[in-house]
Amino acid sequence: MTTKRKPASRHLTHAKRARAKPAAERIRESARDLFYRRGIRAVGVDEIVSNAGVTKPSLYRAFPSKDELAADYLRHMGEDGLSRFDSTIMANSHDPRGQFRIWLLDLLERATKSDYRGCGTSNAAVEYPDRKHPARKVAANIKTRFRRKLVALARAMGARRPEVLGDALMLLLEGVYMSCQLFGATGPSRAAVETADMLIDAHLKR
């Protein structure tokens, strides 16, 4: 749903009651923060709105339900993640392997901070096993697209069987997401870069 609301004023800067951002946007930011850090089921709508500095009816004017707000949260976070991946990889399209390495190092830097909570998309799939749930649908969509990007990347690297290398990297990355939130910086993710290198080597070797 989400009802992508038009600016509602053709002039720039609506300036909404001397407050920086419209309620819907504040709610989105609040939800993103809380949902990611503490989990979707663990956070109630009351906490979301109070954290956003707005009130409950404002939430339900912008979003039809908490489930749809969760779906919206995943949509935004997922798109951000996918474009970050794209822009990192595309920054030097002649060296896909090097760019992937940069992206992975960047991920590890964020993921080894003590308050890291893994991949919000994967976490949502854990919280909502029902495949018909709106949040789960969005999660599946994001993950499928990311998988395709990894296969495309493997192809750009010159892998003999790009689907296999792409999937291997996906397994590795999901492992990084999970193990970082389980073990932190001293966990199995220490082996991530080296493992990725080995995998890529093995798939490129003649």
Partner DNA sequence: ACGCTATGTTACTGACCGGTACGTTGCCGG
Partner DNA sequence: CCGGCAACGTACCGGTCAGTAACATAGCGT
Structure tokens at 193: 């870069």
How far is 138 from 29, CA to CA, in rounded Å? 18
The 83-112 contact track toward a copy of itself, x by CB under 8 A, reads: ------------------------------
Min dist. Cβ of residue 18 to DNA (A): 6
**Residue 142 half-sphere exposure toward CB, CA atoms < 13 A:** 27
How far is 51 from 178, CA to CA, in rounded Å? 28
Min dist. Cβ of residue 36 to DNA (A): 15
How far is 106 from 110, CA to CA, in rounded Å? 7
Residue with Cβ nearer DNA (11 or 206): 11
When binding is defined by CB under 8 A, the residue of 25, 29, 33, 39 that contacts a copy of itself is 39
DSSP state for residue 119 in the 8-state scheme: -
Min dist. Cβ of residue 180 to a copy of itself (A): 10
Helical axes 134-157 vs 162-183, angle rounded to 10° = 120
Q: Which residues bind a copy of itself (CB under 8 A)?
A: 37-39, 41-42, 117-118, 122-123, 125-127, 129, 139-140, 143-144, 147, 163-168, 170-179, 181-183, 187-192, 194-195, 198-199, 201-202
